[in-house]
Structure 1
């Protein structure tokens, strides 16, 4: 089945900040923590999250129109994708299309468009800086001190040990971070009942208590979908790597290149392929492969 046709349920992050009955309150608290403001009027928020978002483009996004800005939030529990600025560029273009009619763009009157801001909250297990800025221009083949097109994405590491100020200033984000840590710990300890036990522990410790008591069953279903999503991505990455390996083998056979065989064997080692399999596919000796 084509990946473009796969659909996934909302993540807990999305539900908490975009879909739940208290989502606007939660979002506004996070917005204030990011901007040092004290906005309280949730009725001024407009949820403009895209529907039918393409799989592998955005899965866990939150998008609001507020204070003359478009705020796009996303959560990453896995390795940060360096192509986030490009993905955000595609995303914001589609958002602007939903806000303005096509004919407005051809008017002689200047359109005043809300300023976009992009944030990614990282709570993965790998080490990552507290604050990082990814720029679209970093990907340009031809570098320029003043690029004609730029887009920046702010990555915030919200793991508790990082002690980022946003956790001190937004109670919901702090509790969500604790929730993620608890789920991760229980999932490793009890793969069968881990989600349920994590929710019970959080409720007992007053972590997202109201939310989790109201939506225990829904949260478990969302967690199952999230973990299936992460597993699917991992499988696709492995499949892509193996396809690259196979292509390398075929090219090596056609060229008869010893160097190509070495590079292919190195890729296969990185993919944790068995030594015998590598020897069979590359026709290299055990000693040659072990030296890589």
Structure 2
């Protein structure tokens, strides 16, 4: 597969709902579906996305201020990150710093702030329920009866075959879900031309047709960047897994050696059996 152009740091999802010329209109339809509203004018939307989402940093996001709420959307195409509540906490803190007057925090009167809402749209291949909740408190080392700090992330499976309410009620999101499915199918059998074939299929079937006709080349570059990103993440996880396995194996050897020492085995025999240097085994005495 071709290497991506690092200029394309956003995903198709982010471009569609956050950066494209029709992004506000697209996001408004998604917001109406999420909150059962019927807003028609995009004038109520303010894009507040922090312009610092670099390759391999915070999950590509879409952030708007609307209806006294901060809506943060993120998309995951690979495995679900259970640390999203913590990442969202760090992110929304920066958003508040960005939209609030710094002097407000020292005011003698209570300053009202927009209500934050976090959504992660998942369209990977793992079997996940249509909807689940991730909580910051789940990551606490000690579980308090009442958390003094909480952040809730709504995780929604937008794979089209999950019949998620949001996918069926937001036509554009439904089309995006089918687009992702087409990309996945075509890239599985043709890694060199799968993106082009998926785009062609979607245009023929009136799936994101206007968008894909207008931005086909940019979409291909964004897709290449996305798939490179997922590959990098997979490699890092595999390497971390191997390191953890190696450390676990060493710990097992040390524990075995220590047990054998207490049982009176000769030092030389212990070293041969567990495969550790004599100095390490002696240090266990």
The normalised TM-score by structure 2 is 0.84
Matched with 1:90 is: 90
Q: How does 1:91-130 map to 2 (within 5 A)?
A: 91-130=91-130
User: Closer, same or farther in 2 for the Cα pair 1:210/1:251, shift >3 Å?
Assistant: same
CA-CA distance at 1:148 after TM superposition: 1.1
Residues 84 and 59 of structure 1, relative CA distance in 2, 3 Å threshold: closer
Indicate conservation of the 8 Å contact 2:59/2:75, yes or no. no
Q: In the alignment, does 2:137 pair up with 1:134?
A: no
* Contact 1:7-1:55 at 8 Å conserved across structures: no
Counterpart check, 1:179 vs 2:179: yes
Q: Is the 8 A contact 1:57 1:87 kept in 2?
A: no
- Matched with 2:233 is 233
Do 2:73 and 2:121's aligned partners in 1 also have CA atoms closer than 8 Å? yes
Whole-Å separation in 2 of the counterparts to 1:245 and 1:258: 18
Q: How many aligned residue pairs are there?
A: 257
Q: 2:47 matched to which residue of 1?
A: 47
1: CA distance, partners of 2:7 / 2:148: 35
* CA distance 1:213–1:243, shift in 2 (3 Å): same
Asked if 1:223 is matched to 2:227, the reply is: no
Q: Could you say which residue in structure 1 is the equivalent of 2:279?
A: none
Shift of 1:122: 1.1
Q: Structure 1 205/251 Cα, relative in aligned 2: closer, same or farther at 3 Å?
A: same
1:124-146 CA distance string (max 9 Å, x none): 11110111011111122222332
| 1:215 partner SS | helix
Structure 1 residue runs of 4 or more that deviate by more than 6 Å after TM superposition: none
Alignment partner, residue 205 of structure 2: 205
* In 1, Cα distance between equivalents of 2:83 and 2:229: 19
Alpha carbons 1:79, 1:126 under 8 Å: kept: yes
**Corresponding position: 1:257 with 2:260:** no
* Partner of residue 263, structure 1: none
Aligned-partner SS, 1:257:
helix
Q: Partner of 1:121: helix, strand, or coil?
A: strand
Given the superposition, is the C-alpha separation of residues 213 and 138 from structure 1 closer, same or farther in structure 2, using an over 3 Å criterion?
Answer: same
- Residue 259 and residue 112 in structure 1: after superposition, are their counterparts in 2 closer, same or farther (change >3 A)? farther
- Cα distance in 1 between the residues matched to 2:84 and 2:134: 8
8 Å CA contact 2:8–2:222 kept in 1: the answer is: no
Q: CA-atom RMSD, angstroms?
A: 2.2
Cα distance in 2 for partners of 1:116, 1:38 equals 20
Instruction: Find the counterpart in structure 2 of residue 289 from structure 1.
Output: none
